[in-house]
Amino acid sequence: MDVVRENMSFVFILDGFDEIFDKYDKNNNNNERYFYDRFNLNEWNAKIIVSCRSLVLSDEDVNQVLIGPKNLVTPMIYLWPFSKEQINGYIDKFVKINEKKLK
């Protein structure tokens, strides 16, 4: 594992953090409160993407649990759901692409 960690770069995509937040928050101890520290993410040559629903985690939760007091440069991006028109357009394109593949 050390060879991989030292010689490769990664992008970790941790999707759905809001689904485990309550368990994570209850099972941490104060020495390892911050996600970044708890899982030694500083030891990896990696970028970390964490997704969660903003309705479940507030900006304060994110700062207190994911980022911590180290003043890490942590950009946050908010995504909006597709509109019904966008959903229908996506499905139409998907069907057309697959129809071409079948011919």
Per-residue pLDDT tens digits for 16-43: 887 877 776 666 665 566 777 777 877 8
User: Which backbone phi and psi does 50 adopt, to 5 degrees?
Assistant: -115, 125
Counting residues of the chain whose pLDDT is more than 90, the rounded percentage is 15
In this predicted structure, the answer to whether residue 2 has a pLDDT above a threshold of 90 is no
The domain tally of the chain equals 1
- For 51, the domain range is 2-102
In this predicted structure, the answer to whether residue 62 has a pLDDT above a threshold of 60 is yes
pTM value is 0.58
- Rounded CA separation 78/76 (Å): 7
| Residue 92: per-residue pLDDT | 95
User: Which backbone phi and psi does 80 adopt, to 5 degrees?
Assistant: -105, 150
Among residues 50, 44, 47, 42, the alpha carbon closest in space to that of 11 is found at: 47
DSSP label at residue 97: H
